């Protein structure tokens, strides 16, 4: 979707046009859900969080200033919702969700051991670092977009990407404790 079309749809959605908002959701759901799936770990939970992010964005749309793209803005809302939900649910729930996601990953047909190792390594990353890795390495957001979404300095984002990638690569090495 080009920026002109996006601006037109945002303007219409601000006036209450739910069809225009549906077009925005349709265009950006893949990036937001993909990011939250990698950040939250569990697919079903992540999709619920993504839905909540889009509903919150609809409510806050009159306050959207357009300084970042709509995709970045909704991803930022999703990140804050997911981070708060993680804090509320605690570690036990996270462990359960990792197990469940491993079962889902097993049905995908791609290298299962790698997926599980990467997912476990992702779970072990600090929240901000995991979010940066999910955005930049998983969804292809630029470093500056990730900095805007997570409200972090650009240098911090770059160092999170480097360190996060190193830790994930280490998890794929043989004899890494598995």
Partner 1 sequence: MDAEARLAAALGGNTAPARDPSFTLAVIRAAEADRFKVETTRAMLSAGAIAAAAAVLALSLAGWGALNWAGVQNGILGAAGIFALVATARLMTQRLAAATSR
Tell me which of 114, 154, 162, 176 binds partner 1, using CB under 8 A: 114
**Residue 143: CB minimum distance to partner 1, A:** 17
Distance from C-alpha of 76 to C-alpha of 24, rounded to nearest angstrom:
16
CA-nearest of 116, 58, 47 to 82 is: 47
Q: Near partner 1 by CB under 8 A, which window of 87-95, 115-123, 124-132, 152-160?
A: 115-123
Tell me which of 72, 82, 138, 150 binds partner 1, using CB under 8 A: 138
The CB density around residue 115, as the number of other CB atoms within 10 Å, is 16
Question: 81 near 32, Cβ under 8 Å?
Answer: no
Question: 50 near 33, Cβ under 8 Å?
Answer: yes
b/e per residue, 130-139, with b = 16+ CB within 10 A?
bbbbbbbebb
Residue whose CB is less far from partner 1, 51 or 93: 51
Residue 21 binds to partner 1 (criterion: CB under 8 A): yes
Of residues 94 through 113, those in contact with partner 1 by CB under 8 A are 105, 108, 110-111
**CB-based contacts of 55, cutoff 8 Å, min separation 6:** none
**Residue 51: CB minimum distance to partner 1, A:** 5
Site string for partner 1, 23-52 (x = CB under 8 A): --xx--xx--xx--xx----x---x--xx-
Residue 22 binds to partner 1 (criterion: CB under 8 A): yes
**CB-based contacts of 17, cutoff 8 Å, min separation 6:** none
Contact residues toward partner 1 (CB under 8 A) are 18, 21-22, 25-26, 29-30, 33-34, 37-38, 43, 47, 50-51, 54-55, 58-59, 105, 108, 110-111, 114-115, 117-119, 137-138, 165, 168-169, 172-173
């Amino acid at each position: 979707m080009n920026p002109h079309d996006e601006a037109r749809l945002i303007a219409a959605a601000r006036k209450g046009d739910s069809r225009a908002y549906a077009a925005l959701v349709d265009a950006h759901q893949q990036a937001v859900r993909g990011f939250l799936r990698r950040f939250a770990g569990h697919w079903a939970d992540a999709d619920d969080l993504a839905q909540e992010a889009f509903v919150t964005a609809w409510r806050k749309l009159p306050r959207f200033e357009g300084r970042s793209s709509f995709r970045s803005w909704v991803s930022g809302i999703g990140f804050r919702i997911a981070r708060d939900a993680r804090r509320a649910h605690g570690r036990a729930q996270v462990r359960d969700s990792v197990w469940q996601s491993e079962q889902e990953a097993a049905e995908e047909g791609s290298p299962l051991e790698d997926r599980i190792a990467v997912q476990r390594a992702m779970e072990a990353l600090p929240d901000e670092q995991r979010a940066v890795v999910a955005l930049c390495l998983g969804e292809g957001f630029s470093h500056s977009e990730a900095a805007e979404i997570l409200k972090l300095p650009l240098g911090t984002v770059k160092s999170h990407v480097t360190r996060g990638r190193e830790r994930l690569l280490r998890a794929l090495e043989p004899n890494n404790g598995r």
